[in-house]
Structure 1
Amino acid sequence: MNDAAGLDTRTWIDHWDRLGPGWEKWADRMAQQAEGLNRPLIEAAGVQPGEHVLDLASGTGEPALSLAAAVGPSGRVVATDPAPNMLAGLRRRADAAGHGHVEAHLADMQALPFENDSFDRVTCRFGIMFVPDAARAFAEVRRVLRPGGQAAFLVWGPQADNAVLGTVVDWGMRHFGIAEAARYRAPFGYGTPGRLAAAMTQGGLLAAEERELRFTPEVDAGLPFWRPPMGITFGPEVEALDEAGAAAADAALKAAFEPFRDGAAYRLPMHVRIGVARA
């Protein structure tokens, strides 16, 4: 069971649909950063040119667009998300990139609308943590994977190990008076080592294992790097701020990140985990 327990599927879909415009607003500007996480996920899944790949909780296109490059025009990427506003951004970005072999489907990973043994690989980047019934989702992954096919799931490590998202979540919940902690703590639900692999096994996937990835990106101290994660995590609330409110938010977040400053740069620890398993 994960930290999404107690929140029904409809509540989660509505939540993410509400955030969709904010994700699309920042998606192109965050593409380079996203690629740094997409690459190890795609490698862990073992994606090869010409394969058929299912991407779950694709949001506005990560890692579906990177998968499209990996499989090439002879392959196929089926990108899914249960939130219509997320898929709208994905379709726009796929069209702009000329990825005609990317299909966008409205779908809940707990009940996939695909036949058995349909895909060579399944990927999911920062999505499984938000599913109320993860065991059911993993069972669906096993069902749609071809025998011997491989799945890879990328999740956040513990909140304390992730400077940017952890700090933004804490600030936003305080600033906007958000009491529904489960929605905003859920990203870290599989942060405990071994928890993701155990859930994959419970869902019927085979030979599940986890890999730990740690980074410490350096960011110029003069850049308001917190704006994209603030915008995608608390989009409607941020958009409602007037000029004075936006300036106050910038000042508060700049102060919150001061412990990570080292001279002319911020050093921002990041910890993610990749779960890999087979059908």
Structure 2
Amino acid sequence: MTAVDVMLPYYGDVEQMKAAARSVMAQHFKDWRLHVFDDGYPSPEPEQFFAGIDDPRVSYQKNEQNLGANGNYRKALAQAQAPFVVIMGADDIMLPNYLDVVVRSFEAHAQAVIVQPGVQVIDENGSAVMPLVDRVKKACAPRSVTPVVLSHEQLAASLLRANWTYFPSLAWRTETVQQIGFTEGLDVVQDLAMLLDVADRGGELVVDPELAFLYRRHSASDSSVRALDGRRFEEERRFFQRQSERFRARGWEKAARAANMHLMSRLNAGSLVFKALSSGQGASVQKLLKHVVG
């Protein structure tokens, strides 16, 4: 059986998607399969590109109808068969050592459900950047020159203070993540929801500091648009309330308090107030301020 399935739900920039696919095909670790799920992008170019790839490990399918981000991710996850799975962003880049790093971590930690390798953030042009949100992530993430293992309430509380992971860079144990799945109706915090479900089940997350992945951040992303108009924070506020109730009932007081405070989420909303004002989005300002004050 193939060791790792790399699932690539796609809708967007064709050239960046090609670069993402090529980065998978350039891995030093060879026991992988790449599955591309084109969510009806209105161009024949993706299909033409994959038709020209002579590698039985690469498959491409175009959805008959647009499923949306959540639906396409659920479809991709359901088709994973390898012991480990990566649900990669179609504009991100695996460095050639990526699969070596994550497979090594799974082999070293029998209870590991998730592996977070080292990540460098890049912009639209591929240049290394470190915007405020990523400086916060770096400050809140575990710091060590050797792999760190988190689980149970320690993992939940850490993630609820600030989600320092980069979802497209995560590798997962397939059986567990398929049991959990993507929660319908969540567009912004679906990754955090899955991570917290792993913590609730007692699964381990291994943080391996070795740089292995390039995560692309740009202003046109869906999460950025949702953040500026306030929709992101409406979803987050409801989500954190549910998590606070969930973990308090479980007796995880540190996790419940972190969810109730959702401090980094509030700071993120506050950082966008001036931008919303300057762009004339008065309605968004009210939504953002509502989230800031809780």
**Could you state the TM-score of these two structures normalised by the residue count of structure 1?**
0.31
Q: Which has the higher contact order (CA 8 A, sep 6+)?
A: 1
**Could you state the TM-score of these two structures normalised by the residue count of structure 2?**
0.30
